């Protein structure tokens, strides 16, 4: 037996069609799009999240194209199943609003059991940022907001079988002591990015203060338009990243591939000059990673006064089609800013153990300098292992 109800949430006839199947323990909401690009469909989707988020299913059908102006709030989710079969398009007119306010489009804060997926694989999330990518002001570090922001101790979140395209700046940011975050079968693509943005303006994944993250079967392709050259970072691990497995990921046309990047995420870095704070990244495995771009793997950081400790971080079965296979640059990004660079060179402090094994493709011979990565021998210790590098391209 089935019954349905129509809820008119605004005079503009936003429709939320909710079908409750009594034989199932959970309910299903199917918010429909207004069908007008100029009308915000987010309120109807937020209503569905409130109504069906607690143990229910929210379906965005394949025949619908949703125009998003305002953010979607996933905090009502408690074991919810959010199925995107249609297309979600961010209204282009809102791009400056999100950038200026540092707002996210999908905010997953203090939520447990959030499953975002396409059952059929037809779902598309379109950031519509083509014109944004054309802007000529480079906005290092502060530039941009995450489109999907998982924070405030969220746990058990998964995103799968979806295509995220032309997202404004950062696709996924994972932080705030969140845990059990799983990403599988995703395509992340961007076209027409201004090549002057290089590494720190576009990210597919960036994380810090997280535990138990897996990222598998993800294809990332960043295409620059003007100033054609590699742009963006595919995977960045910042302070307090603990327990990450990356498998079967390709990263093409990116400036950076899968790197520890301390101090790139705002508000995540211990930075006090008066106390000896320690940042760390540990238990990270990147396996079966294919890269074409500038810098494939390693450590490339901004700088704060914390001491950095790296333990049990392994890159293996890395295929390099183009770019430097491995770097260790404690002051990499601050070279862009003369204000920080001299201080970084004097004060960068690392205790690092890193392993790079089973490298294939255009890898040349591995570094042989026992002090590889150390430019400041009093404060930096880098223990690196390079094993089984076969240049086969």
The single residue among 92, 109, 277, 309 that binds ligand NAG, judged by CB under 6 A, is 109
Q: How many CB atoms lie within 10 A of CB 185?
A: 17
When asked if residue 179 is in the footprint of ligand NAG (CB under 6 A), the reply is yes
Select the residue interacting with ligand NAG from 26, 70, 288, 376 (CB under 6 A): 288
| 121 touches ligand NAG (CB under 6 A) | yes
CB of 184: closest distance to ligand NAG in angstroms? 7
Minimal distance, residue 291 CB to ligand NAG, in Å: 12
DSSP string, 212-235: EEEEEEEEEEEEE-SS-S--SEEE
**By the rule CB under 6 A, 161 interacts with ligand NAG:** yes
Task: Compare residues 9 and 75 and give the one whose CB is closer to ligand NAG.
Answer: 75
Minimum CB distance to ligand NAG, residue 155 (Å): 6
347 touches ligand NAG (CB under 6 A): no
Does position 107 interact with ligand NAG (CB under 6 A)? The reply is yes
Q: In terms of DSSP bridges, do strands 2-8 and 146-151 run parallel, antiparallel, or are they unpaired?
A: unpaired
Q: Which stretch binds ligand NAG (CB under 6 A): 76-84, 216-224, 334-342, 362-370?
A: 216-224
- What part of residues 364-393 is at the interface with ligand NAG (CB under 6 A)? none
- In SS3 terms, 233-287 reads as EEEEECCCEEEEEEEEEEEEEEEEEEEECCCCCCCCCCCCCCCCCEEEEEEEEEE
Phi, psi of 52 (to 5 degrees): -115, 0
Is residue 189 within the footprint of ligand NAG (CB under 6 A)? no
Alpha-carbon distance of 36 to 66, in angstroms, equals 9
* Cβ–Cβ < 8 Å for 286, 241: no
Give the C-alpha separation, 308 to 296, whole Å.
21
End-to-end CA distance of the chain: 62
Identity of the residue, 35 or 227, whose beta carbon is nearer to ligand NAG in the bound complex: 35
H or E element, residue 47: helix 42-52
- The answer to whether 20 contacts ligand NAG (rule: CB under 6 A) is no
Q: Which is nearer to ligand NAG, 54 or 248 (CB)?
A: 248
What element of type H or E holds 179? strand 178-193
Does residue 163 touch ligand NAG according to CB under 6 A? yes
For 131, phi then psi, to 5°, come to -70, -30
- What sign does the CA torsion over 30, 80, 121, 127 have? positive
* Alpha carbons 178 and 357: distance in angstroms, whole number: 30
**153 part of the interface to ligand NAG, by CB under 6 A:** yes
Q: CA 105, 48, 11 angle in degrees (round to 5)?
A: 90
| Chain residue whose CB lies nearest ligand NAG | 109
> Distance of CA 244 to CAs 167, 205, 257, Å?
24, 12, 15
Output the smallest distance, CB 119 to ligand NAG, in A.
Answer: 11
User: Which span sits near ligand NAG by CB under 6 A: 41-49, 104-112, 339-347, 352-360?
Assistant: 104-112
Q: Based on the shown chain and the rule CB under 6 A, indicate whether residue 162 belongs to the binding site for ligand NAG.
A: yes
55: left (phi over 0), alpha (psi -120 to 50) or beta: left
- Contact status: 312 vs ligand NAG (CB under 6 A): no
CB nearer to ligand NAG: pick between 122 and 372 = 122
Token couple for 127: 């950031």
Choices 46-54, 135-143, 157-165, 298-306 (CB under 6 A): range interacting with ligand NAG: 157-165
Nearer to ligand NAG, 113 or 323 (CB): 113
Nearer to ligand NAG, 153 or 337 (CB): 153
Applying CB under 6 A, the residues found at the interface with ligand NAG are 30, 61, 63, 107, 109-110, 121, 151-153, 156, 161-163, 177, 179-180, 185, 187, 212, 216-217, 219, 247-248, 250, 274-276, 288
């Amino acid at each position: 037996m089935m019954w349905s109800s129509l809820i008119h949430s605004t005079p503009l006839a936003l429709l939320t069609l909710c079908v409750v199947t009594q034989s199932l323990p959970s309910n299903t909401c199917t918010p429909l799009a207004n069908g007008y690009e100029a009308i915000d469909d987010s309120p109807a989707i937020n209503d569905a999240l409130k109504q069906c988020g607690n143990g229910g299913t929210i379906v965005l059908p394949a025949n619908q194209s949703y125009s998003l102006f305002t953010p979607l709030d996933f905090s009502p989710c408690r074991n919810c199943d959010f199925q995107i079969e249609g297309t979600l398009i961010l209204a282009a007119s809102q791009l400056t609003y999100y950038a200026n306010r540092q707002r996210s489009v999908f905010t997953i804060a203090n939520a447990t059991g959030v499953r975002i997926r396409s059952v059929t694989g037809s779902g598309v999330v379109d950031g519509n940022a083509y014109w944004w990518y054309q802007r000529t002001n480079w906005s290092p570090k502060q530039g941009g907001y995450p489109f999907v922001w998982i924070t405030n101790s969220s746990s058990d979140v998964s995103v799968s079988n979806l295509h995220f395209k032309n997202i404004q700046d950062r696709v996924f940011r994972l932080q705030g002591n969140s845990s059990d975050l799983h990403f599988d079968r995703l395509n992340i693509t961007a076209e027409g990015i201004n090549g002057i943005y290089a590494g720190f303006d576009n990210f597919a994944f960036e994380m810090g203060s997280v535990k138990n993250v897996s990222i598998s079967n993800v294809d990332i392709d960043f295409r620059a338009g003007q100033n054609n050259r590699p742009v963006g970072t595919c995977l960045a691990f910042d302070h307090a990243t603990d327990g990450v497995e990356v498998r079967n990921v390709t990263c093409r046309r990116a400036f950076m591939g899968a790197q520890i990047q301390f101090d790139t995420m705002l508000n995540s870095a211990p930075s006090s000059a008066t106390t000896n704070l320690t940042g760390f990244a540990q238990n990270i495995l990147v396996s079966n990673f294919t890269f074409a771009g500038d810098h494939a793997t390693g450590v490339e950081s901004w700088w704060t006064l914390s001491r950095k400790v790296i333990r049990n971080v392994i890159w293996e079965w890395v295929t390099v089609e183009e770019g430097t296979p491995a770097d260790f640059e404690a002051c990499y990004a601050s070279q862009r800013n003369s204000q920080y660079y001299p201080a970084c060179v004097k004060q960068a402090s690392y205790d690092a153990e890193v392993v790079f094994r089973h490298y294939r493709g255009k890898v040349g011979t591995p570094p042989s300098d026992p002090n590889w990565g150390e430019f400041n021998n009093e404060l930096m210790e880098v223990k690196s292992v390079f094993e089984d590098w076969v240049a086969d391209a």
